[in-house]
């Protein structure tokens, strides 16, 4: 059985209304952390930055505005499944990205074939994997 799904997409980093540039973003999903999706942003001149958030948030955000915390995802136009805006925020700082919905849907479809939505808890040793993942996240936060 496959243990992970990966994909790379190009996103537009919207610096201002007049300025944007395309950056590669790696999408990563692992069976051992079945609720989470990781996105690693490769900004020019900076070290890669990885954000981790719920797979369901990404799925919901493709169709309707979603997210109450540091991650907000919404379709650019409510009646059109073409592009998605993703807003990432830390304190008062934020970054806005625009991406085509199609590669996100394809990535989510692949994750669903690996672990169907709603079936995350049926994985063996889910609690142990969750504890390990939380330990990894806390270690990353303390290191950076």
pLDDT digits 0-9 by tens, 35-52: 999 999 998 888 999 999
- H-helix or E-strand spanning residue 42: none
CATH no. for residue 42? 2.30.31.20
Portion of the chain with pLDDT greater than 90, in percent:
61
**Tens digit of pLDDT for each residue in 82-108?**
899 999 998 889 999 999 999 999 999
The per-residue pLDDT for 65 is 94
Provide the domain count of the chain: 1
The per-residue pLDDT for 17 is 87
Q: Which residues contact 77 (CB under 8 A, 6 or more apart)?
A: 83
pLDDT above 90: residue 75: yes
pLDDT above 70: residue 134: yes
CA distances from 81 to 18, 20, 36, 62 (A): 24, 21, 23, 7
Structural domain range at position 90: 4-142
The per-residue pLDDT for 70 is 93
118: left (phi over 0), alpha (psi -120 to 50) or beta: left
pTM: 0.80
């Amino acid at each position: 059985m496959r243990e992970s799904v990966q994909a790379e997409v190009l996103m537009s980093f919207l610096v201002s209304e007049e300025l944007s540039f395309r950056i590669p973003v790696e999408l990563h999903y692992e069976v051992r952390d079945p609720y989470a999706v990781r996105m690693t942003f490769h900004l020019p001149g900076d070290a890669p930055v990885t954000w981790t958030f719920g797979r369901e948030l990404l799925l919901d955000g493709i169709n309707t505005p979603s997210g109450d915390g540091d991650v907000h995802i919404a379709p650019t136009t409510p009646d059109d499944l073409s592009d998605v805006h993703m807003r990432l925020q830390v304190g008062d700082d934020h970054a806005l990205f625009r991406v085509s919905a199609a590669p996100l849907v394809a990535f989510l479809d692949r994750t669903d074939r690996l672990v169907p939505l709603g079936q995350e808890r049926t994985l063996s040793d889910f609690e142990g994997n969750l504890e390990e993942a939380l330990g990894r996240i806390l270690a990353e936060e303390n290191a950076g």
